[in-house]
Structure 1
Amino acid sequence: MINKIKKINKRVKPYQVLSTISRTRWVLPTLLVEIGCYFQNRFNKLGQIFCLVTLLLLGSLWFSHPAFANVYTEEQIQAGNELTQKAFALTEQGKFAQAESYWTKLIEEFPENPAMWSNRGNAKVSQNQLESAIEDFNQAIILAPTATDPYLNRGTAWEGLGEWEKAIADYHQVLELDPNDAMGYNNLGNAHAGQRKWQEAIDYYQKATELAPNFAFARANYALALYEIGEIDKSLQILRNLVRKYPQFADVRAALTAVLWSRGKQGEAESNWVAALGLDPRYRNLTWLEVNRRWPPQMITALEKFLKLQ
């Protein structure tokens, strides 16, 4: 399933901007970052421009907070802004270890800023250093106990460790702080899917899409889970609508291939498969789909049948 971490204090997570987003200025509204950065190479130049502008804007927000003016000199704040922009640029390029080193420098200079800790945690998650990332998220939560992003990001790390109940607890904390947090509901769906509790997962995905109708990842997760419980026609309709709106969404193209093939629509299935592989050739790897993408079993089986008979 597609998991959303608030990366870079990335509430990123990848798509349209949510209609309602509330964040503190200490911890970045990560969805905006994820939206731009996810699509920058998948869709068009607009996503790349959006990503860069958002990163620069959010970086300046950290140091424009009045609390900084009372504690740090203008030179220190300017230097912090420059380091932040470098860390964002490296993250955008996928150079997570280098980005982590900049977040470490920022933590040394601004140890009371929770965003620095949370963002370093995200850099560690991207390197699969999950236990260490959780330690950073813990510190961010100590410094900003009412900010949602560190809880959501820590939940993602718990998921990576297979600690479903701990992840669920963090996502419920997100929703206690912000009941309209669509990513919190999406990730709750993912955690329940990890436990093979498909109906519960569906309910959470549906809630996420109700709160944020343009949240494409939640809608894609919803379609995958529906297929798992046998609601194939509804799943097919959602996947087709997503491909129409986001033609370069590789995950949806691959899933649509599997569903179409199971429905005997060979030509349409093969057309979508060519498009999916052109976007991301890893979809040939069923183990990757199971372990990394965490597709539901029935969807993997459907794609496996397509690959064997293709």
Structure 2
Amino acid sequence: MSENKKVLHRATAVMAKGIVLSVDIASNIDAICAFRPDPSDLLIASYPKSGTSWMLEIVDLLLHNGDAKICRQAPLSMRVPFLEMSDRLGSQPGLDMLKEMDPPRIIKTHLPFQLIPSGFWENKCKTIYVTRNAKDTVVSFYQFQQMNLTSADPGSWEGYLQRFMHEGWLYGPWYDHVKGYWEERKKRNILYVFYEDMKENLCREVTRIMRYLDLSLSDDVINRIVDLTTFDNMKDNPMANYTFVPKEIFDTSIASYMRKGEVGDWKNHFTPQQSAEFDKVYETKMKEVNIPFRTEL
């Protein structure tokens, strides 16, 4: 019971290196930024709730030739170290996991570009950035923070939406996050992948990821990976859907970790007035870049 009381405590959000982070990550940010990856390590970066788990499962299957048995030997969170993760969720900290795993490793992060350990760029590690349109992202992140009882309290939907639009929330403003990786993608050889493109044609995007990883898999293997990573199959996969997390941490009576996986679900949550205000702020924040996001298919 004492263990549950420990993990049930909602984290506070604080400023660290100019970015809002949960206090447990902020307190360890110097060690996180000092991490030295192996040149063979693969970094998967994203703003939260942008299709991260989907991408991780695809990449793990690609690296194991589509062998589902190998990829289902352990939960995703044990196969892929979460770089900045502390032990707050009762799991092993990301830096500790990385010390125990031999390269090559798939490494997950939600850190903005400016906080990524410089060793990833110095060692020319391959990096995949997966992103999603802002409206669906804010809805999904809000739902996740409600059900994740260790996360900073998101408060009301209206208040959360206002913070997201104007100030940014955990991991900094969404606008800065997506622009940071976009602007560095060519210089750093970052593969920039859109959630909406994956929903539109998963086979095409899996093939694109395969080529970026310098792999050559048969069409049969690619088709198998596509089938294994459809939303319905991911949601039914206990090694990828986070149902292994205790209900004292993820309260699935509020929302499931994998909710709908749709493009355009924001329409069920935004009022017309909120949508109009969001569009106006978005246009101002993103006017200097032309990142081809789509809010519907």
**If the length of structure 1 is used for normalisation, what is the TM-score?**
0.33
Asked which structure has the greater CA Rg, the reply is 1
Greater RCO, CA 8 A, separation 6+? 2
